[in-house]
Amino acid sequence: MKFLDLAKVTIRSGSGGNGCVSFRREKFVEYGGPDGGDGGSGGDVWAEVVPALNTLIDFRYQQHFFAGNGRPGMGSQRTGKDGDDIVLKVPQGTEILDVDGETVIADLTTIGEKVLLAKGGNGGWGNLRFKTSTNQSPRKGNPGQEGVEREIWLRLKLIADAGLAGLPNAGKSTFLAATSNARPKIADYPFTTLHPNLGVVGIDQREFVLADIPGLIEGASEGRGLGDQFLGHIERCAVLLHLVDGTSEDVAEDFRIIDHELELYSEVVYDKPRIVGLNKIDALMDEEIAEKRAALEEASGGRVYLLSGATGKGVTEVLRALWAEISAQRAEAAAEGDDESWQP
């Protein structure tokens, strides 16, 4: 299945049916008069989160979603049939944006969550509605209300507990493959990863979801390389694992490049808790490891974990550090939820 995380679609709710102008005329029936029914309401347009979806690829092949129109009213006080609703089935973590690409209409993060995107038009009144003591034979009915047509953007932000960041070939995909059942493409050239990958990681009988995004390069915020188009997938993460290639000549500069690109992209992402790991230590001598670790600690201003995704050395310590951040934030969110639900 191809991965697509951004799609533009056109939606239109149904128009209401016209009210009917009709009069009762039956032989041997003493009282006649108006009996026109109301028009049916137009169908609504909804978006709903469904399980087992992790891409917006369906919206590449269908970009127009039109709800059904209401049927007109009929004689004998018969109301027209309502138009059929239409539902856009989206994966968990989908943001719905207005046509400007910035205004958030809805952020759908829970399975089964449903939001109304366009309300169908009301049906028009039949002439029976206009009957009064002074106007017992009204000859007018209302037209149905027009539906709403609009263009919207669907943007998928994968829901993961932790996210991987780093330059191309920093070993992110190798780390994901070593710690989960995910099988991302791994090769010895840059930009092996072309779309985000998710994996479920287990540590100390606990599980969390880890997201691997394509590598960033200097100038990604300006569109270089794959740009920063995939950084949205780590906006929901509780913690970032910043991997630095230990075989690089200047690990401190590699750290600063990614650090700067994250800052340019979003303060929300930049301010997230971050764990820094010096990867590929299996290819280094002890003296090189000590020297590069010191340089990286000076650049990051914090602890640097030593690991090798290929051999598994140091991976457990990194996973425990990630879980500590994740569990702390989960506990904080649960406490805030309890506070909000408590009523004095």
Give binding residues for GTP as ranges. 166-173, 191-195, 212-215, 279-282, 308-310
Residue 151 and residue 128 in contact, taking contact as beta carbons nearer than 8 Å: no
What are the backbone dihedrals phi and psi of residue 125, each rounded to the nearest 5 degrees, phi first?
A: -80, 140
Residue 101 and residue 29 in contact, taking contact as beta carbons nearer than 8 Å: no
Alpha carbon distance 258, 261 (integer Å): 5
Residue 251 and residue 243 in contact, taking contact as beta carbons nearer than 8 Å: no
Q: CB-based burial of residue 185 (10 Å sphere; 0-12 exposed, 13-18 middle, 19+ buried)?
A: exposed
- C-alpha closest to that of 106 among 90, 84, 122, 85: 90
Q: List, as residue ranges, the binding site for Mg(2+).
A: 173, 193
Alpha carbon distance 207, 187 (integer Å): 27
Q: List, as residue ranges, the binding site.
A: 166-173, 191-195, 212-215, 279-282, 308-310
Alpha carbon distance 61, 4 (integer Å): 12
